[in-house]
Structure 1
Amino acid sequence: MSSDWPRVRLHVVTGKGGTGKTTVAASLALALASHGKNVLVCEVEGRQGLARMFDVDPLPYAETRVATGLRGPDGQRPGAVHALHIDPESALLEYLAMYYRLGRAGKALDRFGVIEFATTIAPGVRDVLLTGKVFEAVQRNSRNKGAVEYDAVVLDAPPTGRITQFLNVSDELAGLAKVGPIKSQADTMMTLFRSPRTAVHLVTVLEEMPVQETADGIEELRAAGLPVGGVVVNLVRPRDLPDEALAQAAAGRLDKEAVRADLEAVGVATTKTLVDGLAAEARDHAERRALEESQRELVDGLGVPTYELERLAAGVDLGGLYDLAATLRDQGLA
């Protein structure tokens, strides 16, 4: 097995709300760590989704070890997965302390509400602070003494509709700051975000709106010069029924007597209501599968590598997260 993205250090995961991008980001971090890598997975939306994924307490603004990576198929010792919840206020305080040595003075500014003003009134500055912390984690320097060096960073990013604006921080700051340290930092970050060391992966489900938003997102990223990674198709339904049975179910021609006989053969007592209900469920399933197949064709036509994750019947717990990580690794995303 080999990764489709061997040069990438920063994996940005985005997707329409409800597609499971946080699940994919957490699974990707575990998959990357299976190669013996130390991995940091970050979130910037304030939802504490990573804490729920890894079943740990709410994350502070500190890099916290949350898991050991998936063990490699060759018995390779896995790396560690750390997680970080980034909020703009803490990022600004750290920025002031690291670059301007404003330790106590920075906290005084916080008491006066200056930091809230800077991070709320000027959204471009807010995004620079959030992405700036991610940039610092990828390219550690002497200012952050004793910090863990990571082989890969995974960012659970904002939704697809905002991802280009979020990453394109240099252009977003153009109307706010044409010179100065923040503008300089934004320009420096763009050298990473537009390089082959970054890949923006998009998560979708096989429904019309998420697939269309994914296509639009890819177009916008490319127009901004940002590197498009792969598309992860999440929550895929199992393909248990053969095509012939699906066609019969969709047309309402399912052999109900055969269904009844199969149930009774395994000891299930049947009634007309039960068999009719199962036939109706089968028809709904067949129609849903037909819709998914049409959307899968559109995804295949996007011109980027695609990966699929099955819907887990019991939901996603930590064990399920490892299963998804193994799938992503085996398919080459990690």
Structure 2
Amino acid sequence: MSAGLVSLEDVSRLQVVSGKGGTGKTTVAAALALALATEGKRTLLVEVEGRQGIAQLFETEALPYEERKIAVAPGGGEVYALAIDPELALLDYLQMFYKLGGAGRALKKLGAIDFATTIAPGLRDVLLTGKACEAVRRKDRSGRFAYDHVVMDAPPTGRITRFLNVNDEVAGLAKIGPIHNQAQAVMRVLKSSETEVHLVTLLEEMPVQETADGIAELRAARLPVGRVIVNMVRPEVLDAADLELVRTVERSSVAQALSAAGLGGARRGGNAEKLVDPLLVQAAEYAERYTLEQEQRAVLGELGLPLHELPLLAEGMDLAGLYELATELRKQGLS
């Protein structure tokens, strides 16, 4: 399912990807970065949770606190990645605004940086969002943006609004000075058309409900909601008409069909009758799952956002699968 094609020029420069744990938001963020880098573009994939999930997906060594090229997209585009370390980001911040130099390194040795980021969780979020927004705004000497797009693998849905909105709180607390100015600059990016927040879900009740709640919170905070991406969608084996037939078919008809197909017959040393009940149970389980998934699609459809679906890869997720999902995203216009 897709919302229709969108030109690259219409895609916001900061793509924030969130979702309930277990929905594959890191995978979707990585695939999106690849999709956006196609046709010679340059993207930066940012990790803020310290899990090194990006390195695992791209089958590379753990990411340091520096922007490093990790993949080449079709058409010659490049994907860079950055795992933001809050302590080192704070040192950058102190150097940028207060020119501490060696004093900043001394503070780190004394443990002051770790102490500050631990006792003030909000400070960590300020540093993480600030670093990502700096990459969005950065330009080279010719005045061209350093990256065409920045994709953030963000915290889960339950925390995403507070995470993105923390600079609003900081700007309110610090009425003047560099901290206030920096917080306002970050919020100008996060609450502008430069940013879209996408939510990843599964066709299951809890992730869908959390997605709906997350969208309501983002809208209340006036943060720009982008699209809903349904991940790991299982292939449709039977459609509604087939399922109705399964519900009404007689056992004897199933047994006859199995025998006619040579399944469970004497040549195999079995009995077609023995296969009927397991098959009907399996069909009933599929019918129940199909109904639940259709109900969740209906709930998502009422959210008023573009809806996209990515397939469950039968062979599991590897680097080839990541490129496959990137291709699917481009087909659906999410790049």
Q: After TM superposition, is the score higher than 0.5? A: yes
Q: Which moved more, 1:183-192 or 1:152-161?
A: 183-192
Which residue in the other structure is 1:125 paired with? 123
Which residue in the other structure is 1:199 paired with? 196
1:146-170 CA-to-partner distances (Å, cap 9, x unmatched) read x981000000000111111101123
Taking the aligned partners of 1:212 and 1:5, their CA distance within structure 2 comes to: 32
Taking the aligned partners of 1:153 and 1:183, their CA distance within structure 2 comes to: 24
1:101-148 CA-to-partner distances (Å, cap 9, x unmatched) read 323221110111111121111122111100011011101158x9xx98
Taking the aligned partners of 2:248 and 2:174, their CA distance within structure 1 comes to: 62
User: Which residue, out of 53, 56, 67, partners 1:52?
Assistant: 56
Q: Which moved more, 1:14-23 or 1:241-250?
A: 241-250
Uncovered stretches (5+) of structure 2, i.e. residues with no partner: none
Taking the aligned partners of 1:292 and 1:10, their CA distance within structure 2 comes to: 31
Alpha carbons 1:250, 1:284 under 8 Å: kept: no
Taking the aligned partners of 2:291 and 2:55, their CA distance within structure 1 comes to: 36
Uncovered stretches (5+) of structure 1, i.e. residues with no partner: 72-76
User: Which residue, out of 218, 224, 232, partners 2:215?
Assistant: 218
User: Which residue, out of 131, 136, 139, partners 2:137?
Assistant: 139
* Residue 12 in structure 1 maps to residue 16 in structure 2: yes
TM-score where L is the length of structure 1: 0.89
1:308–1:5: structure 2 CA closer, same or farther, 3 Å change rule? farther
Q: Which moved more, 1:44-53 or 1:236-245?
A: 236-245
Q: Find the residue that maps to 1:115 and give its secondary structure.
A: helix
Alpha carbons 2:15, 2:150 under 8 Å: kept: yes
Q: Find the residue that maps to 2:161 and give its secondary structure.
A: helix
Taking the aligned partners of 2:260 and 2:50, their CA distance within structure 1 comes to: 54
Taking the aligned partners of 2:30 and 2:138, their CA distance within structure 1 comes to: 22
Which residue in the other structure is 1:62 paired with? 66
Opposite residue 292 of structure 1, the aligned amino acid is E
Which residue in the other structure is 1:101 paired with? 99
1:205–1:148: structure 2 CA closer, same or farther, 3 Å change rule? same
Q: Quick check: which has more Rg, 1 or 2?
A: 2
1:66–1:250: structure 2 CA closer, same or farther, 3 Å change rule? farther
* Aligned CA-pair RMSD: 2.5
1:259–1:207: structure 2 CA closer, same or farther, 3 Å change rule? farther
Alpha carbons 1:124, 1:172 under 8 Å: kept: no
Alpha carbons 1:251, 1:283 under 8 Å: kept: no
Which residue in the other structure is 2:226 paired with? 229
* Residue 39 in structure 1 maps to residue 43 in structure 2: yes
Opposite residue 308 of structure 1, the aligned amino acid is E
* Residue 160 in structure 1 maps to residue 157 in structure 2: yes
1:111–1:260: structure 2 CA closer, same or farther, 3 Å change rule? farther
1:138–1:279: structure 2 CA closer, same or farther, 3 Å change rule? same
Q: Find the residue that maps to 1:264 and give its secondary structure.
A: coil
1:274–1:151: structure 2 CA closer, same or farther, 3 Å change rule? same
Opposite residue 220 of structure 2, the aligned amino acid is A
Taking the aligned partners of 1:251 and 1:179, their CA distance within structure 2 comes to: 72
Alpha carbons 2:72, 2:78 under 8 Å: kept: yes
Q: Percent identity?
A: 57
Q: Find the residue that maps to 2:303 and give its secondary structure.
A: coil
> How far 1:12 sits from its partner (Å)?
0.3
Taking the aligned partners of 1:8 and 1:88, their CA distance within structure 2 comes to: 25
Opposite residue 123 of structure 2, the aligned amino acid is V
User: Which residue, out of 156, 168, 191, partners 1:171?
Assistant: 168
Alpha carbons 2:55, 2:63 under 8 Å: kept: yes
Aligned length: 324
Q: Which moved more, 1:307-316 or 1:92-101?
A: 92-101
Which residue in the other structure is 1:264 paired with? 263
Taking the aligned partners of 2:17 and 2:172, their CA distance within structure 1 comes to: 27
* Residue 291 in structure 1 maps to residue 295 in structure 2: no
Q: Find the residue that maps to 1:324 and give its secondary structure.
A: helix
Q: Which moved more, 1:246-255 or 1:293-302?
A: 246-255
Q: Find the residue that maps to 1:19 and give its secondary structure.
A: coil
Taking the aligned partners of 1:259 and 1:290, their CA distance within structure 2 comes to: 26
Which residue in the other structure is 2:77 paired with? 79
Opposite residue 185 of structure 2, the aligned amino acid is T
> How far 1:84 sits from its partner (Å)?
0.7
Which residue in the other structure is 1:74 paired with? none
Alpha carbons 1:13, 1:25 under 8 Å: kept: yes
TM-score where L is the length of structure 2: 0.89
